[in-house]
């Protein structure tokens, strides 16, 4: 049986052979706990610090800025909640923080010395960002501004700057969207925020390995290993030392007190190796895969006149092609494609199984009925062989015709 053509790399990618080879010693021979004070533990600790330094170099941060997590979702939670909770803690007056009592004998409510804490993000962010913001709203009274995007999913840096106000503790924006592939002007957003010194967090889970990260100037950056060829279960939050961060996981004080728990040494080595490999290949892979993706997009739009490309037609991730097929069930198209040996998705894997239309497409102005016809194709760094872009476009057209019939 022929293996299916896997085009869902935005959900996850296979582990690279070089990565397995690099991490294997830390699952077998050098298996020690990096907090242990003996030779086996010290060997693991040295590997962990080396991985930390390698990741820091690739994203333009210091070694001490790197916090290893269990994945992109945890890293995003730590960025949003950790930075905002630290800001909230800094706003509570000492007498309130110490539980001083008033004349009634009851505990005095917390008092703040400036405006209510405020977060800026966009409505097209990953669920780990949006749910973290909603948590802060529900339990800590944090206010949120969701800066609108245009029909291609782009956010205007000037609109972000206009949303900054007294009490703004964080700006969080995705470098590139996981559903439609639109690349944001992160440098413009960072520049817009610079005069106010409001920290900017960038979710780079999808862009790592496709776009340069070292020069974007963000205060915090999220990466997930399994999008790059490392195993699932390892991620990174790079957060500059000047940014206060409240830990979400408490315990033995690992990761410089910012994320307790015995570190995943093998995973850290795997992520550093995968990121290095992706960065070394980035320019060539982005140009090659981008050209293949453009051929595929052109083929689909020519073969299915009703199809509509979603996201920015130019400023998009090289391997991402997302369409809507009005009046055709997107899920049915996926089934027909899989019968033809093509594996793709309807959008974010984190929202799989939901009957609701994509929040990303709704924010871009698509009607719910059209948003539910979405099909997303995401290529890996190996790309497509030979005439595969054209053959794939023909298979998509055939699948859409079969559903309509």
Tens digit of pLDDT at every position of the chain (405 positions): 577 899 999 999 999 999 999 999 999 999 999 988 999 899 999 999 999 999 999 999 999 999 999 999 999 999 999 999 999 999 654 444 344 333 333 433 344 456 789 999 999 999 999 999 999 999 999 999 999 999 999 999 999 999 999 999 999 999 999 999 999 999 999 999 999 999 999 999 999 999 999 999 999 999 999 999 999 999 999 999 999 999 999 999 999 999 999 999 999 999 999 999 999 999 999 999 999 999 999 999 999 999 999 999 999 999 999 999 999 999 999 999 999 999 999 865 555 555 689 999 999 999 999 999 999 999 999 999 888 999 999 999 999 999 998
Report CA torsion sign: 262, 267, 269, 272. Answer: negative
Q: Give the per-residue pLDDT at 113.
A: 54
Strand partners, 119: 144, 170
- Model pTM? 0.92
Q: Give the per-residue pLDDT at 354.
A: 58
Q: Which CATH number fits domain 5-12+282-404: 1.10.375.10, 3.90.1150.10, 3.40.50.2300, 3.30.420.40?
A: 3.90.1150.10
Q: Give the per-residue pLDDT at 350.
A: 54
Q: Give the per-residue pLDDT at 385.
A: 82
Q: Give the per-residue pLDDT at 105.
A: 38
Task: Give the residue from 117, 59, 109, 52 showing the smallest Cα distance to 83.
Answer: 117
Query: Residue 206 half-sphere exposure, CB side, CA atoms within 13 Å?
Result: 27
Chain centroid to CA 49: 24
Residue 81, SS3 per DSSP: helix
Query: What separation in angstroms does the CA of 208 have from each of 19, 37, 174?
Result: 16, 35, 11
Domain coordinates in residue numbering, the chain = 5-12+282-404
Among 148, 303, 350, 397, the one annotated catalytic: 350
Residue whose token pair is 């997303």: 376
Residue whose token pair is 């049986």: 1
Report CA torsion sign: 21, 208, 174, 189. Answer: positive
Tell me the two tokens of residue 283.
């320019």
CB 160 within 8 A of CB 193: yes
Q: Give the per-residue pLDDT at 137.
A: 98
| 350 catalytically annotated | yes
Contacts of 298 (CB under 8 A, 6+ apart): 393
Tell me the two tokens of residue 48.
């962990």
Q: Give the per-residue pLDDT at 349.
A: 53
């Amino acid at each position: 049986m022929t293996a299916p053509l896997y085009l869902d790399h935005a959900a996850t990618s296979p582990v690279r052979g070089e990565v397995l080879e690099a991490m294997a010693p830390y699952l077998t021979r050098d298996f020690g706990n990096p907090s242990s004070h003996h030779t086996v533990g010290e060997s693991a600790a040295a590997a962990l610090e080396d991985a930390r330094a390698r990741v820091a170099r690739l994203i333009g941060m210091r070694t001490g800025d790197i916090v290893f997590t269990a994945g992109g979702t945890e890293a995003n939670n730590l960025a949003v909640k950790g930075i905002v909770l630290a800001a909230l803690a800094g706003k509570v007056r000492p007498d309130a923080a110490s539980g001083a009592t008033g004349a009634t004998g009851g505990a005095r409510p917390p008092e703040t010395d400036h405006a209510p804490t405020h977060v800026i993000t966009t409505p097209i962010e990953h669920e780990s960002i949006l749910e973290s913001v909603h948590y802060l709203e529900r339990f800590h009274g944090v206010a949120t501004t969701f800066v609108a995007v245009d029909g291609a999913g782009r956010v205007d840096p000037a609109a972000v700057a206009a949303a900054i106000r007294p009490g703004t503790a964080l700006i969080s924006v995705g470098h590139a969207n996981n559903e439609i592939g639109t690349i944001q002007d992160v440098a413009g957003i960072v520049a817009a925020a610079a005069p106010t010194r409001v920290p900017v967090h960038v979710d780079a889970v999808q862009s790592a390995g496709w776009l340069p990260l070292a020069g974007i100037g963000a205060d915090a950056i999220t990466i997930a290993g399994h999008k790059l060829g490392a195993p699932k279960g390892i991620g990174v939050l790079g957060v500059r030392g000047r940014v206060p961060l409240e830990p979400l996981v408490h315990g033995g004080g690992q990761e410089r007190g910012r994320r307790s728990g015995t570190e995943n040494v093998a995973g850290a080595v795997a992520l550093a190796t995968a990121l290095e490999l992706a960065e070394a290949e980035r320019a060539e892979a982005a140009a090659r895969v981008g050209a293949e993706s453009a051929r595929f997009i052109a083929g689909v739009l020519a073969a299915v006149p009703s199809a509509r490309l979603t996201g920015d037609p130019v400023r998009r991730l090289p391997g991402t092609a997302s369409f809507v097929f009005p009046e055709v069930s997107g899920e049915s198209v996926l089934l027909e494609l899989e019968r033809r040996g093509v594996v793709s998705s309807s959008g974010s894997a984190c929202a799989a199984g939901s009957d609701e239309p994509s929040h990303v497409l709704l924010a871009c102005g698509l009607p719910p009925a059209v948003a539910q016809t979405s099909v997303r194709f995401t290529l890996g760094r190996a790309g497509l062989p030979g005439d595969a872009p054209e053959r794939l476009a023909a298979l998509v057209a055939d699948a859409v015709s079969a559903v309509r019939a």
